[in-house]
Structures are given as structure tokens and as C-alpha cells.
């Protein structure tokens, strides 16, 4: 198995490489394409990495991944499955792509905070005019008042 390469992006300007020793691959019979038939193969791939034990990540990266992917983790293990292809080789490549995309997204810093702004004078004027038109429309629905 080869090392997993994560493309450069926000939070990892030079990219990252996860050592093959940190990754675990398991194979199983797929329920989808390639899983049924006379000679079913173990085409489903489950790729796992123990984030807390990975020597390829810095402490800051480890903390950020654990915080951002806590809903996907089993303890500190992140697992990705791929079974959409008939071929085990293609499923292995797809699982690696999914793992790299997940880790790249988890390593990205949070977006900058939004700064509150006042509505423009024109938008306030348009909103009040629309309210006035709506009020007049509803007033027209009432029965005429006879003195």
C-alpha cells in the first residue's frame, strides 16, 4: 500500500502525506455491483486511520481533525468505505480519494467571522414601501363602511 497524499489547501499550504503504516485496509463482499453472482469477490474496501496514533500528523492537525470530524469517528478511528465499483482496485482508489478529501476538509481553518452591517437607506425605504403597499392591498379587501 502507498502513502496517502493530501493536496494543498486552506490550513495545509504544502499538502500532507499520511504514511502507509498509519492506514489500515479491510476487504469484504460488496452488496452492490460485483458483490452478487457465482464468484463474488471481496470488492468492498474499508480504509481506516487512527487519528490519535498517527505519526504523520502534527499535534495541531490531530486536534483540528478530532474536533471537526468527531461525529464521524469511532473513538479516534476514521473509517471510509467504498463499494460502488465492481473492481477492488477502483474501490481502493475511491476510498483513498474520499479519505484525502475528508482530511483536507477537516484540516481547513474555520471561515472568518461575519461582520454585522447596517441595511442601506435604499433597502430600508424599499422595505417600508413594500409594507405600505401590502397594507393598502389588505385594506382594500374589507367591506366598505356605510355611514
pLDDT at position 93:
93
- Classify 4-107 by CATH class: alpha beta
pLDDT at position 45:
92
* Domain extent listing, the chain: 4-107
pLDDT at position 12:
87
Cα–Cα dist 44/68, whole Å? 26
Which value, in Å, is the radius of gyration of the alpha carbons in the chain? 27
pLDDT at position 105:
92
Residues of the chain where predicted confidence (pLDDT) is lower than 50: none
pTM over 0.75: no
| Interval 33-62: pLDDT, tens | 555 555 567 788 999 999 999 998 899 999
pLDDT at position 38:
52
Burial label for 74, CB within 10 Å (0-12, 13-18, 19+), is exposed
Amino acid at each position: 500500500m502507498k502513502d496517502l497524499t493530501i493536496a494543498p489547501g486552506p490550513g495545509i499550504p504544502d499538502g500532507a502525506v499520511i504514511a502507509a503504516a498509519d492506514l489500515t485496509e479491510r476487504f469484504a463482499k460488496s452488496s452492490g455491483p460485483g458483490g452478487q453472482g457465482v464468484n463474488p469477490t471481496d470488492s468492498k474496501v474499508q480504509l481506516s486511520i487512527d487519528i490519535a496514533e498517527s505519526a504523520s500528523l502534527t499535534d495541531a492537525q490531530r486536534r483540528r481533525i478530532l474536533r471537526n470530524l468527531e461525529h464521524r469517528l469511532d473513538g479516534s478511528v476514521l473509517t471510509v468505505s467504498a463499494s460502488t465499483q465492481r473492481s477492488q482496485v477502483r474501490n481502493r482508489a475511491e476510498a483513498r480519494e474520499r479519505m484525502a478529501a475528508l482530511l483536507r476538509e477537516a484540516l481547513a481553518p474555520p471561515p472568518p467571522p461575519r461582520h454585522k452591517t447596517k441595511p442601506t437607506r435604499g433597502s430600508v425605504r424599499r422595505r417600508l414601501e413594500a409594507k405600505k403597499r401590502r397594507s393598502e392591498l389588505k385594506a382594500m379587501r374589507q367591506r366598505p363602511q356605510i355611514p
